[in-house]
Structure 1
Amino acid sequence: MSNEDQPVKPGGVVGGARSPHEEALGMAALRALAHPLRVEIMNELSDFGPATASMLAERLGESSGSTSYHLRQLAKHDIIVEDAERGSGRERWWRMAPGGVTIGGEETLRTPAGREASELISLGWQQNNERRLASFLRRGLDTFGFDWMEASTLSTSHQELTLEQLAEFGREYYALQERLKEKWKSAEGDGDVELPATRKRVQIQFNAFPLVEQEDR
């Protein structure tokens, strides 16, 4: 496990730099997501994959009626979609919509309501990422063993960048993810790697932003 430059553990806010092919949520969808329980539901589906209302209710300490209602509201705005392949007829399964969720569009940030909703969602993402990272730091070695800890990376670095360079950094990061995803998918299709029994669910946290405090120096 490596840490570059400064011993700072990153959290992570989803939706800052956007993937080039993804559009930020519009105001209606942003309002729909800006509810603490809906952000938690989205985090669960994003972090751990498809689930039912009952499964989410048990994890989050809510009633299944409540999680079912909020799932339907998220689905209305295509933030999540029904996982028809898992449906049994008794209970519906839900998963994140392809492409995930991006917030912070110029149109929504022009209004106080849009900024408030974006802040609520971003803080929910950040707190979730911090919880996931804290759990990994506390229990990762006992849960996964040394090899998985060694393969993991917690990296914080600092650079002097222009606005254009910061935007380019984000684009290159997304391009790297897409390139590796396609590479691994292709290798699996050819039978060159071991299949899902060897996999663990992995969360990738990444931050790149100008430090506000530097303006006070």
Structure 2
Amino acid sequence: MTDEVNAPDATHEARQDVRMLDTSALKALAHPLRVRIYDILSQFGPQTASSLAEMTGESSGATSYHLRALAKHDLIREVDDRGTARERWWERPRGGISFTNPEAMKTPSGKAATQAVMTEFLNRRHQQLMRYLSETILDPEGHEDEAAISTATARMTVEQTVELISGIQKLIDAAVDKYRDQTGEGVRPISIRTDIFPLPEEGH
């Protein structure tokens, strides 16, 4: 699994800008609040410890501590030429990352850290989706036409599945590259998520 700013996906391993997290970085990220902070920086851009405290309901001391822990492993970085010594701004570096490092998965601690990170990350995405459902789609004055939430099942070979993933990924990459830095009236962060995987057998 990989994550790119505003676009988590499952096929970026072949791209040159993807960083595969090692065991130490995965362990540093494997904390619910750190995953949340990291994801907020990915989705909403640079923040301070104070703004993150408001967004997470934690103290600024706690968010500051976790920001430093993430920065220690180059998961985030301080924004150049912005802020003061008392109010530092932090950002998520551009480029994709892979949470599934084959080497890390060979050790119990690396596997546990990977599972913790992926679980927290996907739980957060699911919570955001459910919040959207409750606040927008189920609202009589909601704007359901601004989202696409659908599922489908097809019977495909591995090669056909890879071809489908590649085609979808090209569309996502094009949109992210085109609109990543867009600003202006009406512009807001959009989550782009794809889930393509072989179905496990029922009852297992």
Look up the match of 2:94: 98
What pairs up with 1:119-158 in 2 under 5 angstroms? 119-140=115-136, 146=142, 148-158=143-153
What pairs up with 1:47-86 in 2 under 5 angstroms? 47-86=43-82
**What is the distance in 2 between the residues matched to 1:15 and 1:185?**
16
Describe the SS at the equivalent of 2:77.
strand
**What is the distance in 2 between the residues matched to 1:97 and 1:47?**
12
What displacement does 1:99 show?
1.2
What displacement does 1:141 show?
5.0
2:39 to 40, 43, 48: 43
What displacement does 1:170 show?
3.2
The two structures have a TM-score, normalised by structure 2, of 0.82
Q: Which protein is richer in helix relative to its size?
A: 1
For the pair 1:212 / 2:200, whether they are aligned, the reply is yes
Determine what percentage of the aligned residue pairs are the same residue. Answer: 36
What displacement does 1:23 show?
3.4
Q: CA RMSD in A?
A: 2.7
What displacement does 1:156 show?
1.5
1:170 to 159, 165, 168: 165
Describe the SS at the equivalent of 2:172.
helix
Q: Which protein is richer in strand relative to its size?
A: 2
Look up the match of 2:184: 196
**What is the distance in 2 between the residues matched to 1:100 and 1:54?**
26
Letter in 2 for 1:176: L
The two structures have a TM-score, normalised by structure 1, of 0.77
Where structure 2 has 5 or more consecutive residues not aligned to the other structure, the ranges are 1-7
Higher relative contact order (CA 8 A, sep 6+): 1
Describe the SS at the equivalent of 1:84.
strand
* Cα distance change on mapping 1:35 and 1:126 into 2, 3 Å: same
